[in-house]
Structure 1
């Protein structure tokens, strides 16, 4: 918002105390802007720096793990329930040093998230193709976060799924189904030849989303036979997602350790719905290091060409 003001207008608003009249700027932010504009270190920043001065820097092994990631395979735009255009998401990923970003907006069944009908997904593919010409060598990978239906089928046409670079399959409904039903549902999705990544497998929320009455309730894990599902992931070449969203951090450590033990491959993703959330991959890397995930089994450490050879895109 401030970048859009010329110098004279910014000076006038600081002088008249009207910065906070601008959208998204409250009193605390207005004070920090005014102090920074005057060449000072904002008091709020100084307080934070002092409070966290004793914290240790990122562990070398976690930092190295994060540095090895070449992209993110789960991100949303304003075409579904994200808050930013595709270009902004891509430019933010590029600024973080990524070589690619998979655009995985929701499938049609998830109407609450403005899921993409086949027609809208086809339109999005054309938009991505144009952007890739402009942003090269950075690449937006075509993709979808496809809802896993109750019968285990995927919520999009086979023809369109076959045209995509990356398919993340996730359960978003009937999360309290009994263990047998949920296991069968996930096994069918993992075995689908179009499925590349099993998204946030337990569906849990460790930090609950705000309810209508203002309370926040965590959501427990779905009940399924994790050994059978992760074994199927190994058998069918489907990666298990390490979801880096702070409210998900899915799978839990005990299940992530089991997936490592069984030989799964992994995708460390942010499930970002805004540009700033693309920086959350550190959360997933930290958990990967804690649970002994081998770096060579993380598919988004690969180049785009190697990754697409693995997913079979275009084959």
Structure 2
């Protein structure tokens, strides 16, 4: 496997869709403003939907901006690309933003075969399922878990049973059109309810490949109650991964938030006993669990999952951050479930 594959800028020459997608990817991985990313992804969609002859004719006539979703910057990118050049905007981004997001975890990143936590525009992600899949394949992944939110998280457009059922049909259709070298896995990031139950029916959870269970509400709950809540969720037979366990935010546009308080030894002992992986969430604003809790989980004998929690294609590269932290903290690669081949991963998650 070749993890962290980057599209060569030369590949962008002559194909404006590739160039526009690459710009959006680089902007996303550096957490640029959403409006900038959407501008280039919208432009890529417009160019893709417009005949190649018309796009070239408009570029020559200077009328690209008459097409919906094409602005000044994207029109320049298209024109320069069709002229056989690497667009100046892309060249600058390649110079400034294409290197590793973090160093020290390269060996572990190279062993990751996939990502168990990602979101699409079916919930609070910014891109269609297909775009997430294309990017995961370009990065060298062998599999990606689509884990959109569950119903109670309405602020994130969580999926009802009916919408999740429809999404599973889309996942099946996507896999039918792939060549077998990559697999989109059926998943969910399910809310852990106040009593430790999971925010989806057991029947639906049983249809999924991977279930990430996370706390998103009442993060300041009394420590004893939070411990009982999390232990109950971990003991649910369909829970595979305990997501961003403290809920903390350490930086970023959403501000900061202190970590939830709970008996980490008890929670991680339950994870080890029930074969549930502790997520090392790679989002730079989370860095969850904190370093000291990763140590507690290691001592408890836990498995781990290093996940991007990507809400946009470029954020799939956040794995750089998680791998650097895991390496620094001494997490063995063989205890990271997404270093495993697909067959072993599914045997574990379905076990």
TM range, smaller chain: 0.7 to 0.9
Question: Could you list the runs of 5+ residues in structure 1 that have no partner in the other structure?
Answer: 210-215
Deviation at 1:201, TM superposition (A): 0.6
Offset at 1:85? 2.1
Residues 247-276 of structure 1: per-residue CA shift (max 9 Å, x gap): 212112222222223221111111112222
Between the aligned partners of 2:297 and 2:268, the Cα distance in structure 1 is: 6
| Conservation of the 8 A alpha-carbon contact between 1:208 and 1:219 | no
- Residue 162 in structure 1 maps to residue 206 in structure 2: yes
The alpha-carbon distance between structure 1 residues 285 and 23, as it changes in their structure 2 partners (threshold 3 A), is farther
Shift of 1:290: 0.9
1:190 Cα deviation after fit? 0.9
Equivalent position of 1:67 in the other structure: 110
**Correspondent of 2:220 among 173, 176, 180:** 176
Question: RMSD between aligned alpha carbons?
Answer: 2.8
Report the more deviating stretch, 129-138 or 110-119: 129-138
Match of 2:270 among 217, 232, 251: 232
Deviates more, 1:122-131 or 1:146-155: 122-131
Q: Distance in 2 between matches of 1:153 and 1:308?
A: 23
Alignment of 1:122-271 (within 5 A): 122-137=165-180, 138-209=182-253, 216-271=254-309
CA shift for structure 1 position 207: 2.3
Q: TM-score scaled to structure 1, two decimals?
A: 0.85
Instruction: Find the aligned partners of 1:76 and 1:52 in 2 and give their Cα distance.
Output: 23
Q: Does residue 135 of structure 2 align to residue 92 of structure 1?
A: yes
> Structure 2: which 5+ residue stretches go unaligned?
1-42
Q: 2:157 aligns with which of 114, 137, 142?
A: 114
- 1:80 deviates by 1.5
CA distance 1:260–1:15, change in 2 (3 Å): farther
Aligned length: 304
Find the counterpart in structure 1 of residue 6 from structure 2.
none
Q: Say whether residues 1:284 and 2:336 are aligned partners.
A: no
Deviation of 1:35 after TM superposition, in Å, equals 5.6
SS of equivalent residue, structure 1 residue 207: coil
Q: Return closer, same or farther for 1:35/1:172 CA change in 2, 3 Å cut-off.
A: same
**Which residue of structure 2 aligns with residue 212 of structure 1?**
none
Q: CA deviation at 1:46?
A: 6.3
Distance 2:91 2:202 in 1: 55
In the TM superposition, residue 241 of structure 1 has moved relative to its aligned partner by: 0.5
In the alignment, the residues of structure 2 paired with residue 295 and residue 166 of structure 1 have an alpha-carbon distance, to the nearest angstrom, of 20
Shift in Å at residue 12 of structure 1?
4.9
8 Å CA contact retained: 1:36, 1:42: yes
Asked whether the equivalents of residues 242 and 267 of structure 1 are also in contact (C-alpha less than 8 Å), the reply is yes
Please tell me whether the aligned partners of residues 105 and 320 of structure 2 are also in contact (alpha carbons under 8 angstroms).
yes
Query: Taking structure 1 as reference, are residues 56 and 12 closer, same or farther at Cα in structure 2, changes over 3 Å only?
Result: closer
